[in-house]
């Protein structure tokens, strides 16, 4: 423990999401509510059809932006339409327009994404999250799990993709699953476990696990361009969506400040390499990212002040093998 008194350890700050706080002050993310699937199988409730589905995202959210990246990489822009919510989320949840709820989503007429959730469950009372894959024909949410959505876009919609890529290589499925699990728990969700912890003990535990995993990933990338060698897989984009937000948000706002990604030569170069892949820069909006975190999490940043920095040169040479 880092010199904090026992009395200090017992203090509890107000939880950003009280229903997702454990007894020890740890952040316990709610499970995804809707897990139906789009499928090419005969008689599927949600068949693979161009123009039927809409992907709702926030450009601020790392989970949602991973689905946006897969849609972009596969060339599914003409197959699955896109709805983008306002980066600021208040007590009504994600909304459309500025301010949220002042405009309607052009395709569905929703003012708030919660309206989509309540088409499935009129009594839904949990936190409304992005991404959401919406079935316009049945007028219901298919799925709100970013893992499921990425897999469906990469596999089920593959025959409709303009330029499909292999993000889930079958010969590496076991290795990728193990790698993705560690990245999710220690890094993707790890920054949230640190940032939303309401006790010193849980914050230090999450932060320690986060940086231990970043250290392992730094070492892994010493001899490889990407996580599984020379080809980009889904686990790379899973990691990228946290890395690209790290120095701008998680380092300060979530107190993940032992090191910056800039301080990791391999991870920083790897992040730049991925950012500079065709079409990816357009999925990253640091202004919206900073606005969302610093103005929405009022229990962490009650002033709502958005910091000016840091200055990030995302177009710098990555130093990775071409």
Distance of alpha carbon 31 from the chain centroid: 15
The 8 Å CB, 24+ separation contacts for 106-110 are 107/54, 107/81, 107/83, 107/136, 108/54, 108/83, 108/134, 108/136
CA–CA dist 320, 322 (Å, integer):
6
Peptide bond into 248 cis (omega under 30): no
Look up residue 105 and give its DSSP letter. Answer: -
Tracing tokens 């202004």 back to the chain, one arrives at 287
Q: How many CB atoms lie within 10 A of CB 258?
A: 13
How far, in Å, are 44, 60, 131, 174, 273 from residue 54 at the CA level?
A: 18, 18, 10, 31, 29
Tracing tokens 């946006």 back to the chain, one arrives at 68
Pair 266, 222: CB distance under 8 Å:
yes
Instruction: Point out which residues pair with 17 in neighbouring strands.
Output: none
Sheet holding 132-135, edge to edge: 80-84, 53-57, 132-135, 140-143
Pair 224, 273: CB distance under 8 Å:
no
Catalytic residues: 61, 192
Pair 71, 65: CB distance under 8 Å:
no
The 8 Å CB, 24+ separation contacts for 43-50 are 45/138, 46/135, 46/138, 46/142, 48/156, 48/157, 48/159, 48/160, 49/137, 50/78, 50/79, 50/160
How much helix, strand and coil, in percent to the nearest 5, is found in the chain? 40, 10, 50
């Amino acid at each position: 423990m880092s010199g904090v008194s026992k009395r200090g350890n017992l203090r509890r700050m107000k939880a950003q999401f009280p229903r997702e706080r454990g007894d020890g002050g740890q952040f316990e993310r709610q499970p995804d509510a809707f897990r139906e699937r789009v499928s090419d199988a005969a008689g599927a409730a949600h068949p693979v059809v161009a123009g039927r589905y809409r992907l709702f995202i926030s450009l601020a959210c790392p989970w949602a932006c991973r689905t946006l990246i897969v849609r972009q990489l596969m060339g599914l822009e003409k197959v699955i339409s896109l709805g983008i919510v306002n980066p600021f989320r208040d007590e009504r949840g994600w909304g459309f327009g500025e301010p949220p709820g002042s405009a309607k989503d052009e395709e569905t007429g929703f003012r708030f994404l919660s309206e989509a959730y309540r088409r499935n469950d009129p009594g839904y009372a949990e936190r409304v999250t992005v991404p959401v894959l919406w079935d316009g024909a049945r007028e219901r949410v298919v799925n709100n799990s970013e893992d499921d959505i990425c897999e469906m876009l990469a596999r089920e919609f593959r025959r409709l993709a303009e330029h499909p890529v292999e993000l889930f290589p079958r010969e590496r499925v076991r290795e990728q699953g193990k790698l993705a699990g560690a990245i999710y728990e220690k890094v993707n969700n790890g920054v949230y476990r640190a940032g939303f912890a309401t006790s010193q003990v849980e914050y230090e535990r999450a932060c320690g696990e986060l940086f231990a995993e970043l250290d392992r990933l730094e070492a892994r990338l010493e001899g490889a361009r990407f996580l599984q060698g020379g080809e980009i897989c889904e686990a790379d984009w899973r990691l990228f969506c946290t890395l690209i937000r790290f120095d701008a948000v998680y380092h300060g706002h979530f107190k993940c400040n032992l090191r910056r990604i800039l301080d990791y030569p391999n991870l920083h170069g790897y992040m730049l390499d991925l950012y500079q892949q065709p079409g990816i820069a357009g999925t990253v909006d640091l202004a919206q990212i900073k606005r969302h975190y610093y103005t929405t999490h009022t229990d962490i940043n009650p002033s709502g002040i958005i910091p000016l920095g840091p200055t990030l040169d995302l177009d710098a040479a990555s130093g990775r093998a071409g």
